[in-house]
Amino acid sequence: MPDPSDLQEISGRLERGEIDSAAFLDQLMRFVAAQIGCARAGLRLLIDGPSGRTLRCAAMYDAGVDRMVSAADIAHGPNDPYFERLLHDGSVMVLRKPDDPVNVGALGEYLAATDTTAVMDMSFSVNGVLYGAFSCEQVGEPVEWTQRQLQALRRTASRASLTLMHVISMAVDTAPGALWETSTPNRLATMPMPLDPPKD
């Protein structure tokens, strides 16, 4: 298990300009996966739309293949129990069970399509504003997340949130103006993210 000070070191590399935002997200997701002991660790950003809220994947590390991978967005309709729980508790722990009301719609479809048996999400917020969630996923055999894992993810989310806002402010728009959305989550969600960085 990595030392919590490793997260401070990762953030320091970004602030000193030793790594760019893509490398920061890569290292951060690897840290989360090792800290929690999960198969995949990601960052999903909240995008509000006319038909509801979408959690857009900004970064996802897969420990099984030891690299960043793409992951589908998860759309949630109005009054979705997932967001009610995320806003009320600050976290959501889901097992792929048909009797769990959170495990419905697009989330249930995502879990089935990716063979994900358990998810633990922790809200990513700054100054009380919800921007998205850190997501830990387990594949294959289902797991019951422990309080130790939940608290570790809560600490990581809290410590990384301000640095993530710094990442957002560093993002430079290179897309045509008419296609650019200026909200903070959109700025981070549309940053270029290499899926398979070259190995040294």
Residue range 10-28, pLDDT digits in tens? 988 988 889 998 999 999 9
**Residue 196 has what pLDDT?**
54
The CATH superfamily assigned to 5-189 is GAF domain (3.30.450.40)
More confident residue, 84 or 66: 66
Is the pLDDT confidence value at 181 over 50? no
CA distances from 138 to 16, 62, 199 (A): 34, 10, 25
pLDDT average, residue stretch 154-158: 93
**Residue 81 has what pLDDT?**
86
What does pTM read for this prediction? 0.80
Copy the structure tokens of residue 164. Answer: 């993530």
Q: Residues 55, 71: contact at Cβ < 8 Å?
A: no
Longest dimension (CA), the chain: 48
**Which amino acid belongs to residue 154?**
R
Question: What is the average pLDDT value for the chain, to the nearest integer?
Answer: 82
Helix (H, G, I), strand (E, B) or coil at 123: strand
Phi, psi angle pair for 14, to nearest 5°: -65, -45
Residue whose tokens read 């809560």? 154
Phi, psi angle pair for 54, to nearest 5°: -120, 135
| pLDDT confidence band for 197 (50 / 70 / 90) | low
**Residue 156 has what pLDDT?**
93
What whole-number percentage of the chain has pLDDT above 70? 81
* Residue 71 DSSP label: -
Highest mean pLDDT among 88-97, 108-117, 147-156, 180-189: 147-156
| pLDDT confidence band for 169 (50 / 70 / 90) | low
| pLDDT confidence band for 179 (50 / 70 / 90) | very low
**Residue 51 has what pLDDT?**
75
Gap between the terminal Cα atoms of the chain = 23
More confident residue, 32 or 189: 32
More confident residue, 168 or 128: 128
pLDDT average, residue stretch 101-115: 85
Please tell me the number of Cα atoms within 13 Å of 186 on its side-chain side. Answer: 11
CA triplet 23, 172, 186: central angle to 5 degrees? 85
**Which amino acid belongs to residue 168?**
I
Model confidence pLDDT, tens digit, residues 43-72: 999 998 877 789 999 999 999 999 999 999
Phi, psi angle pair for 45, to nearest 5°: -110, 140
Helix (H, G, I), strand (E, B) or coil at 158: helix
Neighbours of 76 (CB within 10 A): 21
